[in-house]
Amino acid sequence: MSQDYALAVAYAQGQPSGSARLKQQAVDFVVNERLGFEPSGIGEHCYVRIRKTGANTAWVAENLARYLNIKPFDVNYADRKDRHAVTTQWLSCHLPGKLMPDFADMALTGVEIVETCRHDKKLRRGSHAGNEFEIRLRDIQADSQDLEQRLAQIAAQGFPNYFGEQRFGRGGSNLLAADKLFAGEPIRPQQRDMCLSAVRSYMFNADLSRHVSSGELSAISVPEHCWTANEEAGRGADSGGRTRSSGESNHRGWLYGLARKETPALKSLESRFPLWCEGLRRLDLKAQQRDLWVRPAAFNWRFEGADLLMSFGLPVGSFATSLIREIVSYGE
């Protein structure tokens, strides 16, 4: 990340002394999207469940639109999934008055059509319930007692709900682009939403790190399936997240924007990040809240030689890498 925006966020259990390798193969990082609702079987939207390996979600969506001869904006998905992974997710294609395609002659490298069905609403960003993960950390170099203690504590108490560094772009590129946007310089239209999301995420991480460092969150008790609200969740008719636009909660932090009333937490962000906050207000973005802490569902782990295999579920908006960083320092 750009030196200007390097942010060393605090660890809940102290910085791990152990190390491991992540995503050495696509099968080391498996993601299965959970919709949280059953498609109705009727309607003008064709839902396509895909399994992709080494493929970008946006690239798959573009190729689906081309194959179906529809506009790119008529293909939607709840979330972008990792490219360097094996991921299963749904996409919706708007096909009013058209027969259900069978996709028999559609060939995309690394992409398999798992199932199709119909539904009466399109998929919106953040409209899924969450994701299930199966992760292999290779070549673990760590004290076994410390490792088990960290894993057990995450299972029992959860971990800080940081946004992953991928949110900020390679080398902080999304943050740098946001600076250009707020300075009135032109940026690519498709980059705008990513930039705004990145600055709000960065400020959230900085504030959460302050809470973790002070020990304020060490005694939080959170339930399994602690649903997480983010800036996309409020947009979907079938949203699995919860958003709040005002009020204070000891267990929730702010994604900065305009609020019905000022709060000490929002004022604190304004004092730390005045230019970003001013830019977000000018664009009329509404403030929302996000859980500061998250507990993984059905968290299981086992060792296989020098590798650690983990499986768990996370709500929409939470990052598996934020869990992993509490266990070991990792490289890809």
Say if residue 318's pLDDT is above 80: yes
**For residues 254-269, average pLDDT:** 94
**For residues 75-103, average pLDDT:** 96
Query: What average pLDDT is seen over the chain?
Result: 89
Q: Say what the pLDDT of residue 48 is.
A: 98
For 125-149, write each residue's pLDDT tens digit: 999 999 999 999 999 999 999 999 9
Say if residue 3's pLDDT is above 70: no
CA diameter of the chain: 61
What is the rounded distance in angstroms from the CA atom of residue 234 to the CA atom of residue 241?
7
Q: Which domains does the chain have, with CATH numbers?
A: 3-25+134-294 (3.30.2340.10), 37-127 (3.30.2350.20)
What is the rounded distance in angstroms from the CA atom of residue 84 to the CA atom of residue 23?
7
Tell me the pLDDT band of 1, cut-offs 50, 70 and 90. Answer: low
What is the rounded distance in angstroms from the CA atom of residue 12 to the CA atom of residue 158?
9
Beta-strand runs (E) in 172-321: 252-255, 288-291, 293-294, 297-304, 307-315
In degrees rounded to 5, what are phi and psi of residue 30? -110, 130
Closest listed residue to residue 190, CA positions, set 3, 66, 61, 86: 61
**For residues 148-175, average pLDDT:** 94
Say if residue 206's pLDDT is above 50: yes
**For residues 246-261, average pLDDT:** 79
Q: Say what the pLDDT of residue 190 is.
A: 78
For 282-317, write each residue's pLDDT tens digit: 999 999 999 999 999 999 999 999 999 999 999 999
Q: Say what the pLDDT of residue 270 is.
A: 97
Tell me if 133 sits within 8 A of 28, measured CB to CB: no
Catalytic amino acids?
Answer: 82
User: Would you put residue 158 in left (φ > 0), alpha (ψ -120 to 50) or beta?
Assistant: left
For 16-28, write each residue's pLDDT tens digit: 999 999 999 999 9
What is the rounded distance in angstroms from the CA atom of residue 35 to the CA atom of residue 45?
15
Q: Say what the pLDDT of residue 227 is.
A: 43
* Number of neighbours of residue 95 by Cβ within 10 angstroms: 17
Beta strand 130-141 with 19-21: parallel, antiparallel or unpaired? antiparallel
Strand, coil or helix: what is 9? coil
What is the torsion angle, in degrees rounded to the nearest 10, for the CA atoms of residue 72, residue 77, residue 79 and residue 83?
A: -60
**For residues 10-37, average pLDDT:** 97
Helix (H) or strand (E) holding 320: helix 320-324
Beta-strand runs (E) in the chain: 19-21, 29-34, 45-53, 75-77, 86-94, 111-119, 130-141, 159-160, 252-255, 288-291, 293-294, 297-304, 307-315, 329-331
Q: Say what the pLDDT of residue 5 is.
A: 76
Burial category of 69 from C-beta neighbours within 10 Å (exposed 0-12, middle 13-18, buried 19 and up)? exposed
DSSP code of residue 37: S
> What is this structure's pTM?
0.89
